[in-house]
Amino acid sequence: MKRPWWLLPPGRINALWWLALGAAMLAIERFGGPTGQYPVVYAVPVALAAWYSGRLVSLALAVSVPLARLLFLVAPGSAPMNVTLLLLTVFRGVVIAFLGLWFARLADLERDLERRVKVLEGMLSICAFCKKIRNESGEWEQLEGFISRKSEAEFSHSLCPSCGNTHYPGMTEELA
């Protein structure tokens, strides 16, 4: 399965990218004025940082962007102090921090699933009689060895009832 074009590459991305994006979003909100209502400016960089750089970067961004906005609100030359705006900014920061933690958890889960799931794809050439598989180098190898090498699957051997009756008649009760 191919990764969608709109997703960034898998793995980690340098935290400075998210800090720069957070600063850019904060500047956009700053130019919107002190009463600008753009809570998405908190969500986008925090969610991306959580997904691609981890929990700590996300939390740092979720705390620093609202703090910077608070500094803008109380800076000299800004509009008079508005308690409602201060409380909304703090509330947004808390909500976005939880959002960042949630995205980080989802990213960890996806990475864990990617590590655990390995898919065999394509046409596998298998002997109809002995069930050996032709590998990439053209050699025939046991099915169990091939699958164990390509995945984390392990095998234990037993006999199904049909083979037990065919190859070991009378021992079927002992094999079950």
Closest CA to 110 of 33, 65, 54: 54
Per-residue buried b or exposed e for 154-167, using 16+ beta carbons within 10 Å of the residue's own CB: eeeeeeeeeebeee
In this prediction, residue 35 carries a pLDDT of 56
Evaluate if residue 1 carries a pLDDT over 70.
Answer: no
- Counting residues of the chain whose pLDDT is more than 90, the rounded percentage is 2
In this prediction, residue 140 carries a pLDDT of 93
* Neighbour tally for 133: CB within 10 Å: 19
pTM above 0.75, yes or no: no
Reported as type and span, the H/E element at residue 16 is helix 15-31
Answer for the pair 106, 51: CB distance below 8 angstroms, yes or no: yes
Between residues 15 and 56, which one has the greater pLDDT?
A: 56
- Which two three-digit tokens encode residue 143? 């099915």
Evaluate if residue 78 carries a pLDDT over 80.
Answer: no
- Which two three-digit tokens encode residue 68? 């910077």
In this prediction, residue 103 carries a pLDDT of 87
Round the average pLDDT of the chain to a whole number and report it: 78
Closest CA to 46 of 95, 114, 111, 112: 95
Evaluate if residue 17 carries a pLDDT over 60.
Answer: yes
Evaluate if residue 174 carries a pLDDT over 60.
Answer: no
